[in-house]
Structure 1
Amino acid sequence: MPITSTILDVALVRPDQLALAGSEARLSYGELVDDSRVAFAVVDSLHRAQPEPPRPAPETQGIPITAVSTTSAFFTARIIAGLAGYRAVSATIDPRWPLDHQVGVIRTTGIGLVISESRTLAEALAAAGWTGTVITPAEFATREAQVRSAGTPAPAPTVREASEPFLMLFSSGTTSNPKAFIKTRQQYRDNVAVSSAHLEPLPEVATLAPGPVSYSLTLYAVIESLATGGSVHVADDFDPFTMGPRIADEAITRIVAVPAVVKALAEAAGRSPDRFHGLDLLVTGGANLPASIRDRLAEVLPEARLISYYGAAEIGFIGDSRAGDGTWITVYDSIGAEVRGDDGQPLPDGEIGTLWIRAAACSDGYVTGTTDAQLQGPDGWASVGDQGRIEGGLLQLAGRAGDIAITGGHKVSLPEVERAFETCPRLGEACAIALPDDSLGSIVALVIETGSATGAGLAPSVPGKAALLAHARARLAPQFVPRRFYLIDRLPRTVGGKIRRTEATELITNGQGQRL
C-alpha cells in the first residue's frame, strides 16, 4: 500500500483517527494532511531560496534532499510523513554520528536542507564549503506559523509515481561507516506488502515505536503504520516508568522495538504487569534474540506474542522466528534465499556461506560516492555480506563476513559462540573474536565487558576461566570453544549500540584487555 494513498483515504473517511503521537504533540489523519501542506511549503521555499543549491546524488533523479537530524522522534516522524506526498527525498541523520561523518554524508550525497539543533554541524558544513541550508526545528516552526498565518500552504499531497525516489537511508554501520542508498516508492510499497502479511501492522491498530527515527526499524514502523491505516506512537527513548501508563492509556497493543527495549519492557512488566497486559504483539528486529529475553517476556507477559524478524534495510524484510531459541528463521514465501560459497555457487545444506536474497523491495544499489560496495549481482540477487546456513528450508544466521573465523580448517560463527554464553550466570555483554595463530590460522577468544572492574583485578561477577570453559564445552562443538578469555572495561560500539567486533579485536591485539 502506498503511504500517501492510505493517509488521504483515512483522512477522508475517518479524519479524527489518530495518525501520529509523541510526548509533545499528536496529529489525526486529517491534521496530518493539513500539516504536510504547511511543512512542504516551508521545505520547498528553503530549497528554492538557495542561490547555489547542492547537486543531489544522481540516484535521486534531481529531486532535492531534505535531512532531519534531531533527537525529537515526533518532529522527525511528522516531517518524513509530511513530505511523502510531494516531490521530495527525505533522509534521517543520527545526530550522534561523528561530526566528520555527518559532514561527509551531507556533502557527498548532495543533501540540500538539514533540520538540526546543532550549531557545530552548521559551522562545520559552512567551513567545508557546503552551499545548502541548516535550520533549527524552532526556526522551522516559526516559518510554519508564518505560512499558516498567510494562508499559503502547498497544494494537497498526491500519490506519486512508483519509480520516484522516496527516502535516502543508511546502513547500520556495524562493520563500517554507514552507506547511503535510495528507496523508491515502489520498493517501499513492496516492503509494506511483506510486513503487512507477516508482522500485523493492521488498520486502526495502535503501535508504539520508541527510539530514534534515524534507526531504520523505527522509521519503518512509522511508515508501515501509516501505510496500513494504523496509529503510531513514537518516543525519543524507552522510559519504563512512563511507557507503562502510556501503553495502558493509549490502548497500545503492538510494539516495534530493538532487542534492548524488549528487554527493558520485560523487566518493567515484571514490576507492574497490569499496565502491560493489553499488549498483544511485540516485533523486534534482528533475529537470534537472546533466549534470556524471550524467556523473561514469556514469564511476565504470557499472552503477548513475540516476532523476531530478520531483514536488511537495503533489501527489506526477509523472514522471522517465533518460537524456541529464535535462531532458526522461516524465510517468507515471496523472498528467495541462497547460501553461496566464495565461488558464487550454492552450498549444500548446513554449510556456512554468504547469504544472497532476491526481493522486490531491494534497493538498486548504494549512492555514488558513499562506498565502493556492490549490493546486487548481475543476476538480480543481493547481499549485504551476512553469513548463514540453510537446513531443511530454515535459515540460521552466522554474522557478517568478519564474524566467521577459520580455525584448524573449520568455519566458526562468532555470533554462535556468543549465543552460547547468553545463559552463563553472572556474565554481562561478551564479544567473540578471532586471533591469529601460527598452527591453526586463528583461534577463538571471548572478550567480556566488565565496566570499570578490570583495573582492580577480577570483577566479582565474572565466572572464572574453568567455569567459562565448562559452560562452553557443554554447549558448543570443540572448534567453537574459546581458547582464551579476556576482560575489558567497555566493548566498542556503534552509535546504535551494536558491538564493533573489528575494533574489539584491535583492542585485545594491542594489549588493552586482561587475560584470564
Structure 2
Amino acid sequence: MGWMADETGLEKTPANYIALTPLSHLRRAAHVFADRVAVIYGAHRVTYAQYYDRCTRLASALAARGVSGGDVVATLIPNLPAQAEAHFGVPACGAVLNTINTRLDVDTVAYIFSHGGAKVVLVDPQFLELAEAAVAAMDVPAPELIEVADAAAGWPASGRHAVYEDMLAQADPDFAWVMPQDEWESLALNYTSGTTGRPKGVVYHHRGAYLMTMGTVVSWRMQLHPVFMAIVPLFHCNGWNHTWMMPLLGGTVVCCRDITATAIYDAIRDEGVTHFGGAPIVLNMLVNAPDSERRSFDHVVEVFTAGAPPAPATLGKIEALGFNVTQVYGLTETYGHVTECVWRGDDWDGLEQSEKAAIKARQGVAFPMMEHITVMDSDMAQIPMDGAAQGEIMIRGNSVMKGYYKNAPATAEAFEGGYFHSGDIAVQHGDGYIQIADRAKDIIISGGENISSVEVEGVLMGHPDVNLAAVVAKPDDKWGEVPCAFVELKPGTAPSEADLIAFSRETLAGFKAPKRVVFQELPKTSTGKIQKFELRKVAQGL
C-alpha cells in the first residue's frame, strides 16, 4: 500500500532522509540567528553563536569524561542557563538527559541515580548536599558530581567537585556533535512523581521531541523571535520541550531561579517576555499579587496553562491583566501538552466573560503533531459526545513516550489496545472538545453518585476570599465518602466553614457540596500541582 509499481533507485539517502531531532534547531540557529540573544539570566546574556559554543563544549567535556552513546547524564538544577545548555549538550555527545526534580527526597534521588544509571550529574550547589547524600546511599557505582555554581544568587561552588565553567573552558570548541542515526534513539529520561510507589522512568525519543517543537509553534500561533520565560521546571517534561523549540524561532529564553509574581512581572516589563507556560497556581499568583509586586506592560502575553483545570474565575481575572490564556493538557508520558483549547473566535467571541472562561477551562482537541486523542469507555469504545458521559482520555501519536524504562509490564499496560491510557476521566462535548472531570483516583463516590472534585473546586475558587481549593474524599459512615475541601484563603480574609459550604450550595447540588472545609496551606509539587494524596491522609482522620 502506498508504493508505486517501480521504485527502483528511490531509496533513503543522506540527501533525502535525516533522523528528526531537536538538536538540528540549535545547529541551524547558530548560523541563522548567530548574533541574536538566546539566553538571559541576570547579567548572563549569550547570543546563539555563544549558546552553541557552550553546548558544544559541554558535549566535549562529557565525552572526555567517558560519557558515550546511550549513557545517562542527570541534572539537579533550577531553570538556569546550564539546565538549558544540558538539553543540547548532553544529547550532542550521544548521551540521554535525565533532569531530576530538585524537591525530591534523598532516597528517591538515590533510586533515580541507580535505576537510570547516571554516569555524571550536573548539580547546583543549593542541591549539592541532596546529591551527595543520594550518592552515599547508593549500592551501585555512583555518578560523578559536577557543580554548576551560581555565585550571584549566593550559591558559589563548594570546592569539593569539578566546576562546570572550568570544565567548559577546558573543552574542545570544535567537538563534532553526535547526531542520532535513528530518530527512535532515546533523547531524555524523565521520572514520574511516584506518589503511589517508586517513580517510573519515561523515555523520550528524538522524533517525538522534534515534532512537539513543531506542533507547539503552530498551536501557540508563534512568530519569529518570541521572548519566552522558563517557568515550568525543565525537570518536568523537559519544560514541555520549549527549550528545544526556541532556537527554531530564534527566540530568547529568560531563565529564573525562583518563580515569584515580582520576577514574572519584571521579566515581562524589562525583557519583553511574550510567552510562558505554567500551572494554574502561577495564574493565581499573578492575579492575587499586590500592586507593589506588579509592573505595567503594553503587550499581550501568551500563556499555556496545564495541570489541574484552572477555575473559570481565575481565567476571567487573568485576561483582564493582559494575559491571553490557552488551556493545554498532557502528561510526562506525552512530552507535555498534547491537547489544546483552540479558540473559535466567530463562535465564542460574543459570549459573556463567564461563558468564555468556562470554555477556556476545557482541555480541547489534539495538537497537530498528534494522531488521535479521544475519550473511551472501559471497553475502549468512543463515549457519547454529549458533555455528560464519562470515560478515560486515550492518546495516540508520535509525541507519546517509547515506554517505561526497565518496566515492560507497565509499558504494556499503558499501551493496551493501541492507545496510551492517561488515567484521566473526562467528558467530550458535541464539538469533540475534551473536558477533564477528574483523575480516576480523585472521583468521589458518595451514595453511589460520582462527584467530580474538579467541579467542586471550580465553584469554591469563585468565592472572592479563596486563593486555592482542593477537594478529596472523606470517609463517611452513611454515604461511603463525601467531599472534603481544603482551602487557602487570600490574606486578610476570614470566611467561615459554613460560609463556604453555603456558597457552594448556591451552585452545586446538595450531595456535591463539601461537608467539611479545612483552612490550611495546600501541599504542592515543584510544578505547582496540589498533592492530593497528602490531603487524603488528613481527610482520613477527620
TM bucket normalised to smaller: 0.7 to 0.9
Aligned equivalent of 1:194 = 215
The equivalent position to 2:115 in structure 1, one of 108, 113, 117, is 108
Q: Does 1:462 align with 2:469?
A: no
The equivalent position to 1:249 in structure 2, one of 270, 280, 287, is 270
Distance 1:427 1:409, change over 3 A: same
The equivalent position to 2:132 in structure 1, one of 117, 122, 125, is 122
CA distance in structure 2 between the aligned counterparts of 1:502 and 1:492, rounded to whole angstroms: 9
CA distance in structure 1 between the aligned counterparts of 2:222 and 2:140, rounded to whole angstroms: 40
Aligned equivalent of 1:59 = none
Shift of 1:423: 0.8
Q: Does 1:45 align with 2:77?
A: no
The equivalent position to 1:361 in structure 2, one of 399, 403, 407, is 399
Distance 1:204 1:506, change over 3 A: same
Aligned equivalent of 1:388 = 426
Q: How does 1:8-407 map to 2 (within 5 A)?
A: 8-47=27-66, 63-71=70-78, 73-116=80-123, 117=125, 118-131=128-141, 132-138=143-149, 139-148=162-171, 153-156=174-177, 158=179, 161-173=182-194, 178-210=199-231, 212-216=233-237, 218=239, 220-267=241-288, 275-286=296-307, 288-301=309-322, 304-316=323-335, 317-321=337-341, 323-325=356-358, 326-332=360-366, 334-349=370-385, 350-369=388-407, 372=410, 376-392=414-430, 393-407=432-446
Q: Structure 1 regions of 5+ residues with no counterpart? A: 50-61, 454-458, 512-516
Q: Structure 2 regions of 5+ residues with no counterpart? A: 1-19, 150-161, 344-355
Percent same amino acid at aligned positions? 21
For this pair of structures, how many residues does the alignment match? 487
Distance 1:174 1:21, change over 3 A: farther
Shift of 1:223: 1.7
Q: Does 1:444 align with 2:489?
A: no
Aligned equivalent of 1:58 = none
Name the amino acid aligned to 1:425.
P
Aligned partner of residue 125 in structure 1, secondary structure:
helix
Q: Deviations over 1:205-264 (max 9, x none)?
A: 221223532233735221222244322212112344344343333332222233333333
Q: Deviations over 1:71-130 (max 9, x none)?
A: 352221112222343311111112211110000111012121111231342243234233
Aligned-pair Cα RMSD in Å: 3.0
The equivalent position to 2:512 in structure 1, one of 458, 480, 504, is 480
> TM-score if structure 2 supplies the norm length?
0.81
The equivalent position to 1:435 in structure 2, one of 445, 460, 474, is 474
CA distance in structure 2 between the aligned counterparts of 1:375 and 1:98, rounded to whole angstroms: 28
CA distance in structure 1 between the aligned counterparts of 2:196 and 2:56, rounded to whole angstroms: 39
Shift of 1:69: 0.4
Aligned partner of residue 503 in structure 1, secondary structure:
helix
Shift of 1:368: 1.5
Distance 1:330 1:297, change over 3 A: same
Shift of 1:272: 7.8
CA distance in structure 2 between the aligned counterparts of 1:119 and 1:269, rounded to whole angstroms: 35
CA distance in structure 2 between the aligned counterparts of 1:364 and 1:6, rounded to whole angstroms: 22
> TM-score if structure 1 supplies the norm length?
0.85
The equivalent position to 1:502 in structure 2, one of 507, 512, 533, is 533
CA distance in structure 2 between the aligned counterparts of 1:347 and 1:72, rounded to whole angstroms: 40
CA distance in structure 2 between the aligned counterparts of 1:183 and 1:502, rounded to whole angstroms: 27
Name the amino acid aligned to 1:481.
A
